[in-house]
Amino acid sequence: MKRSKLGAGSTSLQAAVGFALGAVAGCILGATEDPVDRVLSALTAARPLKPMMEEVRTVGALGLGTLVGATALTAAMTSVVAGVILAAVIASVFVASRSCMPSHTDSAGLWVSAGLAGAIGSTLSGATLGVVIERIVNTCGMVGLLWALSLFTLIKPPLLLVFRLLWGEDACCTLGSTHWTREREQNETSEAQQRQREAELMEQRILALEKGGGARGSELRSTWAAEQREREERERKKRESEEAEMEQRTIQDWISTVVVKHVEFLAFSGIPMTVVAMVTSGFGVLGYGGHQVVFIVLLALVAVIVYLLLRSSDFKFWMLVGCMGMIATFVIAMLTLHAGQVVVTTAMKMRAAGGGQSKESISTQMNKQSSVEALNAAVFVARLCQLCLGATVGGALVRRAAGEVRVILGAASVAGGLLAGVEALAPVLGEGGRAGALLGVVGAAGVSVGAAAAVAGAWSSWSGTLGTVSGLVLGALGVGRWHLVNIGLQVPAAYVFAMTNPF
């Protein structure tokens, strides 16, 4: 595996190349801003928002915030893992079939096919989950969504065990080993035949020497030299074959590690968020949704779960993401509650000024603002989650020597194509399906951003690093219509995850 030499060239050349690579990743990140904002505006319109407004009375403002947040984050994580699994299966079959010999890691076909499969899988999974969530909310309400989220969380750990068994017995893994076994048998047969020919030649040379040599001896010496050259050539091919087999096993092991870690992450990282959503929603269903005790219990529950996870001696990536997701869910709940309180405060000021409103009008406005804030915050956090998980994959690919330019340009191109496809299919997908699909596109853009972040840290000079970071930030801001707050939060978060090695 050959790594790109990011230290080559003058400092000005490094800065220029870094800026170009960063700009590509930044532009595709910025390009996702406007479509996501538009679909969010559609989701917060009167008709799609009505089921949520009706359910605020059932689960309470805190319950609504935690439930919407946990659902959005779970959908984002699931779509990312679905894309990773599909990409890994394609890459595993590609490697095992030796389609990309003589060098698996340098093959464009391997990374192109795996990248396309991952991006498409993540987008389709997100669209499917978006449609399912929208239908559950419209037909069964938020209580039905709570049951669906709880059931999904419960079945994921057993599915992890099933997946590990199936992946361990994957046919694509045995395909490569069967080929190597057959090749070794052929080499052993050829070596045995050559040894037999050499033994016969040796006997013939001895007999020729006893008879005085002559023309027969010269002919045998030429044959012996040819056999020696053939032996050397066979040994060279054998060494190359062994190196290729070792390389194949190495990348296959890495693919398996990535898949198992991501499935483990999916199985357990959503548990803290779901527990919080179940508790707060349960209080709401029992009629205590607006009571102060719910906030106290929520705060204590988050603190206890974070403490238990962080004090684990075997701290894992899913624990980190689980804590972050739970804290994000807590923040969404606070914003949802605050939105309703702002309405009450405004109504009190209006009443003091002589412009009172009816209790029913205030309650309706509270429910609307709470629902809007819950959706706004949940979509932003889910988008940030998708971006960061995609950045984790992009950073790992660059460190794995997949090729910096290849990963950045490839992921950006795929994300751009998927973005155009989602916009074209918007009438078919519906608002929920479109939102989920766009989150999948953000994940693909995150791969490009993560790769650019990894490149920024790999330059041998500060000029290359600063050029890459400048291109990334300016590209994202320029194409993203200068959404300073959104992009100002997304880029640093993506950088941190790109530098994280969860494998």
Q: How far apart are CA 178 and CA 165, in angstroms?
A: 20
pLDDT tens track for 244-285 = 777 777 777 778 888 888 888 888 888 999 999 999 988 888
**39 pLDDT higher than 80:** yes
- The dihedral through the CA atoms of 393, 395, 400, 405 has a sign that is positive
Q: Mind listing the pLDDT tens digit for each residue in 57-66?
A: 788 888 888 9
pLDDT band at 448 (very low <50, low <70, confident <90, very high): very high
The answer to whether 214 and 208 have CB atoms below 8 angstroms apart is yes
Of the listed ranges 148-152, 344-348, 363-367, the one predicted with least confidence:
344-348
Instruction: Evaluate if residue 110 carries a pLDDT over 70.
Output: yes
How far apart, in Å, are the Cα atoms of 16 and each of 249, 409, 412, 471?
A: 37, 16, 19, 9
pLDDT band (50, 70, 90) for residue 215: low
Q: Which H or E element spans position 460?
A: none
Rounded to 5°, the CA angle 165-167-170 comes to: 115
Q: Report domain extents, the chain.
A: 11-177+246-499
| Backbone φ and ψ of 460, nearest 5° | -85, -5
> Contact 474/369 with Cβ under 8 angstroms?
no
**pLDDT tens per residue, range 47-93:** 778 888 887 878 888 888 899 999 999 999 999 888 888 888 888 77
More confident residue, 435 or 10: 435
What's the angle, vertex CA 384, arms to CA 419 and CA 53, rounded to 5? 90
Write down the pTM of the prediction. 0.82
The 10 Å Cβ neighbour count of residue 122 is 36
pLDDT at 503: 65
- CA 426, 124, 385: angle at the middle one, nearest 5? 95
Tens of pLDDT, residue by residue over 458-498, are: 887 788 889 889 999 999 998 888 888 888 889 999 998 88
Number of Cα atoms under 13 Å in the Cβ half of residue 382: 34
Instruction: Decide if pLDDT at 397 tops 80.
Output: yes
The confidence score (pLDDT) of residue 295 equals 83
Q: Over the stretch 452-463, which tens digit does the pLDDT of each residue have?
A: 998 888 887 788
More confident residue, 131 or 4: 131
Higher per-residue confidence, 180 vs 254: 254
Say if CB 385 and CB 447 are below 8 A apart: no
Dist CA 300 CA 292 (whole Å): 13
What is the C-alpha separation between 147 and 412, in angstroms, rounded? 37
pLDDT of 233 over the 90 cut? no
The tokens for 370 are 């709470």
